[in-house]
Amino acid sequence: MNFVVIGCGRVGAELAYKLYKSGHQVVVVDANQKSFERLAPDFRGRTTEGPALSKDTMDRAGLDKADGVAVVTNIDTLNAVIGHTVRTQYPNVKQVLVRNYDPAMRKMLETFNLQLVSSTAWGAERLQELLIDPDFRSVFSAGNGEVELYEFTITPEWNERSISDLISACKDITMVALTRAGHAHMPGVIPTFQAGDILTVSATMEGVKVLRSQLHGVEA
């Protein structure tokens, strides 16, 4: 596939290299030629120097043939404008992703109806989860962490207790699977927990907070 990465900072350089190593055709765009020095020595994609909002730069980067574009400069407002321009001027691009750095700017970016990836918000969510309870493992994050899949191990205190009692008491929680002795089961197949079971749930941050309180016998 053909991808264009706009912005060759730390994130852009790392993303471009990962895409290249995965076997894709990659073009990296940046207004500063020296920024391309961040690319790994064995990167064999193309680089295009020039202002990203210039049609000449976009054309030279091959946006008319791109399957996806990631806009990852370190300026949120610029990312929003570039993302909007790509989406309107190059309708052939199937996926336009925009980096958000400052959480305070997310609402502004959302007004453009762009697909955002907020590294700051996502990272803060992960750090909070690990600080509060490292036994709750986030295994998949949707959007910018608003809904996630969590795994956690059932403790002896919940042995032989009803699964539905736990799940039904928690809002914004959906059971995905229960793994016992290495074999995963769909919801409803097994009615009660055994110590050592691994429960996988889909939850919001608020939902998992309530679930954590339920498991530890504390009122949320």
Question: Are residues 85 and 163 both part of a single domain?
Answer: no
Query: Does residue 79 sit in the same domain as residue 169?
Result: no
Identify whether residues 39 and 78 lie together within a single domain.
Answer: yes
> Is the pTM here over 0.75, yes or no?
no
Tell me if 220 is assigned to some domain: no
- Pair (21, 93) in one structural domain: yes
Residue with more model confidence, 6 or 220: 6
- 62-66, 140-144, 173-177, range with the lowest pLDDT: 140-144
Per-residue model confidence (pLDDT) at position 137: 76
pLDDT digits (tens, 9 = 90+) for 14-61: 999 999 999 999 999 999 999 999 999 999 999 999 999 999 999 999
List beta partners, residue 180.
183
The overall average pLDDT reported for the chain is 87
Average pLDDT for residues 166-191, to the nearest whole number? 87
User: How many C-beta atoms surround the C-beta of residue 42 within 10 A?
Assistant: 8
Range of the domain at 181: 128-215
- Letter for the amino acid at 117? V
Mean pLDDT over 186-198 rounds to 90
Element (H, E) at 194: none
Segment 91-105, tens digit of pLDDT: 999 999 999 888 888
Whether the predicted pLDDT of 4 surpasses 90: yes
The whole-number pLDDT of residue 181 equals: 87
CB atoms within 10 A of CB 141: 14
Q: Tell me the helices (H) and strands (E) count for the chain, helix number first.
A: 7, 11
Q: How many domains does the chain have?
A: 2
